[in-house]
Amino acid sequence: MSTTQIAAALFQLQQLDLELERLVAEQQAVANALQGSSNLQKLRAERNIAQQQLRSGLQAQKEAEWALEELGNRLKMQEQRLYSGAVQNPKELYTLQQEVQRLLAQQNRQEDMALEIMDAAESLQEIARRKAESLEQEERAWGEESASLIVRRDQLELRKQELQSKRAQMSSTIEPDILNRYDAMRRTKQGRAVSKVEQNSCQWCRVILTPSELQRVRTSSELQTCTNCGRILYYDR
């Protein structure tokens, strides 16, 4: 290989390496996106809270209903005693009447309370229903999105394997010393070890080459580097 051919091969290798880098970055982005949408997590948390509140609301409703039932039973029992004629003693009768009055008042209060609790449970039910609906919608949307992400992920993996085997093939034609130099330079020079010469200047840093530098890039038996940015110069015409 002539020096210009080596520079050309390194430039091609660099194009390939840059594509690989972009690809790996996209793979990372796709992998992150597949972790799940943050909106989905938020809606899931909201749905769980709404369900929890609904459970407490329903429990409170049940307890209020039990209390009301128990009160009703006690009232029925006392009323039966009162109207059965079994209690004759006026003083005892009076106490019993008082007790029935007290229980009736308590029943009224308990009924009001139970109604309030039932109203509250009803609105909690409505909130929980709406939260579940939003979550379901988001899950459907996410299902579609993640399906396309999975397709993209597989495409990227395939392309990466292609590029990697192409790279292995390409780098096998380049001398190991030069390849090592190229790899080391890429690490310290923002991934760009090779710079094209365009309009007599280094494409990377725009410094203009002198006629003798240009001459050397075209004809020297050694790779030439830019006097300003230090990158290997590649002249393709």
The H-assigned helical ranges of the chain are 3-34, 38-84, 90-171, 176-188, 211-219
| Contact by Cβ (8 Å): 71, 110 | yes
Please, what is the minimum distance in Å from the beta carbon of residue 18 to Zn ion? 17
Q: Of 54 and 209, which has the nearer Cβ to Zn ion?
A: 209
DSSP-based three-state secondary structure for 94: helix
To the nearest whole angstrom, how small is the minimum distance from the Cβ of residue 20 to Zn ion?
A: 23
Nearer to Zn ion, 163 or 229 (CB): 229
- Output the smallest distance, CB 201 to Zn ion, in A: 8
Under a CB-based contact definition with an 8 Å cutoff, are residues 6 and 174 in contact?
Answer: yes
User: Closest approach of Cβ 1 to Zn ion, in Å?
Assistant: 23
CB of 110 closer than 8 Å to CB of 68: yes
Length, in residues, of the chain: 237
Nearer to Zn ion, 174 or 229 (CB): 229
Residue among 230, 225, 224, 234 nearest 196 (CA)? 234
Q: What is the DSSP letter of 229?
A: T
Spatial CB neighbours of 68, under 8 Å, sequence gap ≥ 6: 107, 110, 111, 114
- How is residue 20 written in tokens? 């690989």
- Whole-angstrom Cα Rg for the chain: 42
Q: Which residues bind Zn ion (CB under 5 A)?
A: 202, 204-205, 226, 228-229
Q: Which is nearer to Zn ion, 92 or 198 (CB)?
A: 198
* Least distance in angstroms from the C-beta of 214 to Zn ion: 13
With respect to Zn ion, which residue has the nearer C-beta, 3 or 225? 225
Cβ closer to Zn ion: 72 or 230?
230
Give the neighbor-by-neighbor strand order of the sheet with 201-202: 201-202, 194-198, 232-234
Q: How far is the CB of 172 from Zn ion (least distance, A)?
A: 28
